[in-house]
Amino acid sequence: MPQRRAITGRSQEPRARFAEELRLLRAMKGVSLRALADAVGWDASLFGKMEKGQTLGGPEVVEALDLYYGTGDKLLTLWELAMADQTQFRERYRRYMLLEAEAVSMWQYSPGIMPGLLQTPEYATELLQQGGLTGAELEKQVAARMGRRELLLAEGGPQFRAILSEAVLRTPLRDPEAWRVQLRHLLEMGERPNVIVQVLPSAKGLHGLTDTDTMFLQGPAGTVAWVETGYSGELVQESTAVQRLQLRYDRVRDLALTPDESREFIKRMLEEAPCEPST
């Protein structure tokens, strides 16, 4: 008989699993973040960010948590796995960025957030802040993201098609005016000859990329795909796997509004967007 696999329902992604374990242990202990901070000796906000997956913390913090929860070196082991996966992610992303710079055409599907190549500085700032970045590192990452936009703005820039789930346009920024600026920027980018923006209405239902942010890059060496979640990303280069993803993308494009219909949809969203209250 084939060996049975134990199914725990826990995340198999190292960073997500680490955060999940932290939340579970604190729930089992029945303590608040503040009580945990008082007992272990670090700020409650740090533990909150660790439990949300926004930061991994340092080894000394994790060792203290292992001691507090009586878990041996379990948390430290999960932390080491998450750190190793983070290093691998950075290497994969560095490779992806090199391929993006060489691409002659790109096409993307975004299920939940504005594509990086179409973001305004305000959008990028709020998004990266939610990921835990602050200060100089936040400024650095926003500047890097804005630098990527130059790809599309340069003469002879690559062709870019972005299909946005309606959810992207239904998730505004906290600052109403910043959100309106983002929507206007999206309309302006869609007017460029090398940029096509399409909207996929929620009413179209489930599809093959429902929860998968996917970017295809076509360059001198062929086509690759970058598949990303909130925790990690994967560079897909094997031709059969890329073709399967492309088939899913093509089906999503068939469901999406036309570029003209999408433009009208975004205009309606802009008209509906709240304005700053008068003072």
Predicted confidence band of residue 86 (pLDDT cuts 50, 70, 90): low
**213-219: strand order across its sheet:** 195-200, 159-165, 105-110, 213-219, 222-228, 233-236
Q: Whole-number mean pLDDT of the chain?
A: 88
Cα dist. 150→86, 146, 189, 217 in Å?
27, 7, 12, 16
Residue 47: CB atoms within 10 Å: 22
Q: What pLDDT is attached to residue 192?
A: 95
Residue 257: CB atoms within 10 Å: 20
DSSP string for residues in 139-150: HHHHHHHHHHTH
pTM of structure: 0.70
For residue range 10-31, what is the model confidence (pLDDT) as tens digits?
656 788 889 899 999 999 999 9
Predicted confidence band of residue 274 (pLDDT cuts 50, 70, 90): confident
> pLDDT over 70 for what percent of the chain?
90
DSSP string for residues in 34-89: HHHHHHH-S-HHHHHHHHTTS----HHHHHHHHHHHT-TTHHHHHHHHHHHHHHHH
For residue range 202-250, what is the model confidence (pLDDT) as tens digits?
999 999 998 889 999 999 889 999 998 766 678 898 999 999 999 999 9
